[in-house]
Amino acid sequence: MKSKLFGAAVSALLATSFVSDALATEWNVSLWGKRRAFTEHVEKLAELVKEKTKGEFTLNISYGGLAKNRENLDGISIGAFEMAQFCAGYHADKNPSITVLELPFLGIDSLEKEIAASMAVYRHPAVQADLARWNATLLMPSPLPQYNLAGVGDAPRTLEDFEGLSVRATGGIGRAMETVGAVPTSMSATEVRQAMDSGVVKAVAFAPHAHMAFGTVENAAWWTTNLNPGTVNCPVVVNTDALNALSESEREALLGSVDEALDYYVNFYNEKTMKRWGPLLDEKGVERVTYDAASLVSFRERVAGPAAGEWIQEMSARGLPAKELYELVKVIADGD
């Protein structure tokens, strides 16, 4: 009798466990590199979602194990994973609408403004339709400060010194570097250190966290403190079908955690990453190269207007409301 009761109890427990497992929702998330400031909002989002759903909805984060960074949007489109991060400049033709956020010299001077501009663009119907071609829903940006260059060899002390300099720079930053005679090359972040070590590029345009995470600061001889040609836009997207399949409580846990995850990211970047950057440059003996105001004004005038004009013309020809998107960003950039 006891044996039968014990067997029944075990069966009940197994059945309960099976039902619990069946009801749990797990999403796979495709990132790249390693955990760093650039991914802290995704890590925080996973923590919040798990906490709010008491473990019934989890985000399994993979750093490079699901797809290469340039393949993340493709993976989302076919449902290979449910969430991913990518950068607009990696494949501008696949996501032309959001490349407005990578135009040079937009004047966005804080992470908070970067978030506001990105979210305004992401919510625009034309942008949502653009990403819908990949079965993707834009969730949140990965706000980054202005990029600057770290390099080897002789430091470019004037804008003329950039003539012929091979530099890793994507999107609008690459176009900005072209105007001063540099030779931009687009490559993924994970390829940069090897390219720098082998001499394929002499300089790399990154935000501070990436110079640290991908090792370019380790052998850099110089760093431009205030060139500030622009930044990149790297959204986190979700597979639309997977998003629609969530229960109401799961959806609320996910979408309702975005603002908190972004707040955490901004604090992390400002308090931990930027405070480490200056001392690290000193420790590595990296020379700081600062340009005078006249040179920077000249650089902006040569780049900003023409780049914006070309982008608006090209994207309008594709049927996008390009001028509207550009002005949407500029209103936020120019605001107090």
The pLDDT of residue 318:
96
Report the Cα 308 to chain-centroid distance in Å.
Answer: 21
Residue entry with tokens 């919040």: 48
Contact 189, 69 (CB under 8 A): yes
What is the distance between the alpha carbons of residues 307 and 41, in angstroms, rounded to a whole number?
31
Q: Are 196 and 210 in contact (CB under 8 A)?
A: no
Alpha carbon 194 to its chain's center: 21
pLDDT given at position 4: 53
- The predicted pLDDT at position 280 comes to 95
Instruction: Quote the pTM value.
Output: 0.86
Backbone angles phi, psi at 231, to 5 degrees: -145, 180
- 286: amino acid identity, one letter: V
Dihedral over Cα of 56, 62, 66, 70: its sign: positive
DSSP for residue 269? I
φ, ψ dihedrals at 323, nearest 5°: -65, -40
The reported pLDDT for the residue numbered 188 is: 85
* DSSP summary character for residue 286: P
Q: Residue 295: which H helix or E strand, with range?
A: helix 293-317
Sequence-distant (≥ 6) Cβ neighbours of residue 113 within 8 angstroms: 332, 333, 335
Per-residue pLDDT reduced to its tens digit, 125-149: 999 999 999 999 999 999 999 999 9
Q: What would the two tokens of residue 199 be?
A: 């001499």
DSSP character string of 40-105: HHHHHHHHHHHHHTTTSEEEEEEESSS--GGGHHHHHHTTSSSEEE--GGGGTTTSGGGGGGG-TT
Identify which of 116, 327, 144, 328 has the alpha carbon closest to the alpha carbon of residue 231. 144
Task: Identify which of 135, 129, 144, 140 has the alpha carbon closest to the alpha carbon of residue 72.
Answer: 135
Q: Can you tell me the distance from the alpha carbon of 89 to that of 188, in angstroms, rounded to the nearest whole number?
A: 10
- Going along the chain from its start, the domains and CATH numbers come out as 26-143+233-273 (3.40.190.170), 148-231+281-305 (3.40.190.170)
For residue 126, the number of C-alpha atoms closer than 13 Å in the C-beta half-sphere is: 18
Q: What are the residue ranges in the chain where pLDDT is below 70?
A: 1-22, 336
Q: What is the DSSP string of 3-31?
A: HHHHHHHHHHHHHHHHHHHHH-EEEEEEE
Amino acid at residue number 111: L
Closest by Cα among 70, 103, 78 to 304 = 103
CA 303 to chain centroid = 23
pLDDT of residue 8: 52
Whole-number Å distance between alpha carbons of 83 and 241: 11
Residue 21 CA, distance from chain mean position: 33
pLDDT one-digit tens code per residue, 266-306: 999 999 898 999 999 999 999 999 999 999 999 999 999 99
Cα distance between residue 98 and residue 10, in whole Å: 54
At residue 335, the pLDDT reads 85
